Each structure stands twice: as C-alpha cells, then as structure tokens.
Amino acid sequence: MAGYRSARSSSNSWVVDRFICPATRLEELVGVLAPTMTRGEDSWPLAVTAGSGWTDSLTADAGSVRMFSDTVGSAASVELVEIRVPHEIANESILLTADAGDVLRAFDAVVLFEIPWDIDPAVPLDAIARLRDDTSRAVGVKIRCGGLEASRFPDPSAVARFIAAAADRNLPMKATAGLHHPFRHIAPDTGFSHHGFVNILTATALASAGESLATLVEVLSDEEAESFSMGRGGLTWHQHTVGADALAATRSGLFLGYGSCSFDEPVRDLAELGALPE
C-alpha cells in the first residue's frame, strides 16, 4: 500500500492504475485502508483476483467484494475481477460458458478470465465472446507470462496466439507476471527468458491492425530496444507503424495494461531509454 501511494504521488503517476488485491485479503485491506480514509486522496481503483477454486469459491469471494465495497464506500471501487479458469475445463466450451455465467452473476465489475497459455485459446475465447454477446456484460481475458519456474514462462508463439485470438474477437486483454522490464530479456539471476511489456503492447497493437501471427511472434521475440521507437506519429517496430490514434484505441479498448509487483523498475527503465522524464 505504501508503494502504491508513493507511485500515485510521483511525477509518473499516470503510469499506475489499479491496486491488485486477492479477494481473500480484502478484509485485511479494509483494516489498513479504513484508518487512512480521511487523507483526502483520490479513490482507489481495485483489481480483485478471485475464484481460486473456480465456482466453489465464488460465493465467498463475491461476499468479500460486497463487504469491501459497503465498508469503504467511495474511498475505493472494485473495477475488475480476475478469475483463473482451471486447466481441466478451459477446453470445455459448454461447461466454461455455464460456469462463466455464474461468475458474471456473482460480480458487478468487469470480469477477466485468465486462460491457460498452453492450450489453443480459440475454444475458451470463443465461449467468452459468446457470453459477452449473450449477456451484454463487459468481459475480457488475461494471460500469465511468468512465474517462479522456467516452465511458467510461455514462449513467444503461445503469447502471440493468445493476443491474436483476443484481437480477432475484440476481447479486452491483460497480461501479468514477469513483466518488470520493457523488452524481452534473460534475467541474470535465474536465466529465465522474460517477456517485455513493450513487446506485448506492440504485438497487441499490430494484431489489432491485422498483422500476421508470424509477425507477432517476431515482435515478442525481439530483445533489441533499438527495434522499437515511439513519437508523435505513433509506435514503430522495424518497418511496421501503428499510428497514434490507432495506438490510443488499442490501449483504451484492447490492451488494458499489465500487472506488476514493481513500479520503480519499469519507470526507471523507460526513463533511461528517454521515454519518460528522469
């Protein structure tokens, strides 16, 4: 919470968006946030991770969200609820759609479904797009790009398939885990290959513009900062350019952002690249 407050009061406060909290810790968050509500600070927007047991835990998680909202009032608002779809049902489109309907009825916020990256995303994303069309609810999808083991990091082709599938169905998406730095790189302490958040943004923008899956894989695999540039005209990767208006549309409608436990690292890297003020 101290780190979030510091980020929101920094000169680059526009970079940070929602505070991420598990549904199981909302009561704890109330206990810490409530005594400070008189500070006069802006309302906290929240992304809540819920449904760790899929539908079995939704009732308790939904109750926690309601308790939190009733207690804090206008001091904070739950804008996103993020729910991991278990691997064993992610390819079962009928089951997913039925269960997902229960999820939507449990929560009032925008719901993002986290899809396993090691499956063909077409089946679950088709189901989620149908659910959106049938219910007129705001829904989206999420991909996890890292973890504590090398096996938790999807290769560029898996991330490219997910991005292309989301763009084809106009489903807002979010990425999370292992995304502390702008460009794809090998972490010196672990030897793991991490994805870069600029790579993912660029690939998403190009997917929205109709670029091929092969191009998206190349973008996500690129470790050279010099391959990317941004100016008033938009974002460029090699010979591909996404104009400023199209890029803004991608950010507002398709690529919601990415989750990170670090604010200082991304900001420091972007400042060193000249993309942000020192």
Asked if 163 and 173 count as a contact pair (C-beta separation under 8 A), the reply is: yes
Tell me the pLDDT of the chain (278 aa) as tens digits. Answer: 889 999 998 989 998 999 999 999 999 999 888 776 666 778 899 999 987 666 666 778 888 998 999 888 888 999 999 988 888 777 776 556 666 677 777 788 889 999 999 999 999 999 899 989 988 989 999 999 998 888 899 999 999 999 999 999 999 999 999 898 999 999 898 889 999 999 999 999 999 999 999 999 999 999 999 999 988 889 999 999 999 999 999 999 999 999 998 899 999 999 998 888 66
Assigned domain for 112 exists: yes
Assigned domain for 96 exists: yes
Sign of CA dihedral 32, 24, 68, 115: positive
- Name the pairing type of β-strands 228-231 and 76-84: unpaired
Assigned domain for 62 exists: yes
Tally of domains in the chain: 1
Q: Which residues contact 169 (CB under 8 A, 6 or more apart)?
A: 125, 126, 128, 129
Assigned domain for 170 exists: no
Assigned domain for 44 exists: yes
Say which residue the tokens 């190349």 belong to: 218
Domain of residue 134: give its range: 17-144
pTM greater than 0.85 (yes/no): yes
Say which residue the tokens 């990425």 belong to: 175
Assigned domain for 223 exists: no
